[in-house]
A and B are shown apart, each in its own frame.
Chain A
Amino acid sequence: MVTLGDYLLVSGVLFSIGFAGVMLRRNLIIILMSLELMLNAANLSLVAFSRFRVDSSGLPNYNAQVFVFFIITVAAAEVAVGLAILVALFRARQTTDVKDISSLKF
């Protein structure tokens, strides 16, 4: 029997992997990918809760799935802008390593 907790645990593990990626990796592209991983972990727990809250007419709670729709849309826009910034940065500095981008560091 698969419980709600199993889905939430998978979502938590995925979020932690994404978080570790943001903390550990220094390549900006990999950091963006790890951000996507974290957003998707949140999506998984939202969909699991949606399926868990079956209302009186026997349908899942679709509010959570609408939120997932919005998250996917915003994430797609975020990736496009993030990668455009990355390309502009690469043009100026010829690097995607966060260690080499420290002009604002005090």
Chain B
Amino acid sequence: MSPFLFWLFASLTVIFGAAVVINRNPVASALSLVASFLGLAALFMSLDAYFVGIIQVLVYAGAVMVLFLFIVMLLNLQAEERRRINWLAAAGGITVAVILLVQIAVTIGRFEAARQAFPPLARSTDDVWNIGALLFSNYNLPFQIVGVLVLVATIGVVLLSKREPR
């Protein structure tokens, strides 16, 4: 992957990620999140993880974002009215986030392996086959537990959105 493409998609992901937080209108935030996830999917593909990249587009940019947009439009949320911003709390939140970022950057700077380039792959990766083989051998129990989790989530959502009988 050329460095130009990497920095293009990385900046796309980060800029639209920041737009999610900055935008006042929830619809604009949701659309920025779609753009951010598409950039992230491109980054996954640049790491030869084609399966994960495609799952990212299908599940996140597809299903999850449709859910978000549907709820935003169902609740008919407008842009938040400008409330008086508590500057002290805002400064505190930004400070904690910046401290976290500095910590991460310093840790990466001290990490020897982080300065190495990625080793070349010996052959083309058939990653769907490999991930599937792992899912059904080493990770079979977690896979089935996740299946139960999704079932429970489905039932829970139906129960939660049922109207209470009065």
Contacts and interface: CB of A to CB of B under 8 A. Distances in A.
Contacts, number: 237
B77 to A, nearest CB: 7
B157 A60 contact: no
Interface of B is mostly: helix
Contacts of B72: 29
Contacts of B163: 91
Contacts of A80: 67, 153-154, 157
A65 to B, nearest CB: 6
B121 A59 contact: yes
A94 to B, nearest CB: 9
B47 A48 contact: yes
A77 B109 CA distance: 35
Contact of B90 (A13, A21, A24): A24
Interface of A: 1-10, 12-21, 23-27, 29-30, 32-34, 36-37, 40, 43-44, 47-48, 50-52, 54, 57-60, 62-63, 65-66, 68-70, 72-81, 83-88, 90-91, 96-97, 99
Interface of B: 1, 3, 6, 10, 13-14, 17-18, 20-21, 26, 29-30, 33, 36-37, 40, 43-44, 47-49, 51-52, 55-56, 59-60, 63-64, 67-68, 71-72, 74-75, 77, 80, 83, 90, 92-94, 96-98, 100-101, 104-105, 108-109, 111, 113-123, 125, 127, 130-131, 134-135, 138-139, 142, 146, 149-150, 153-154, 156-157, 160-161, 163
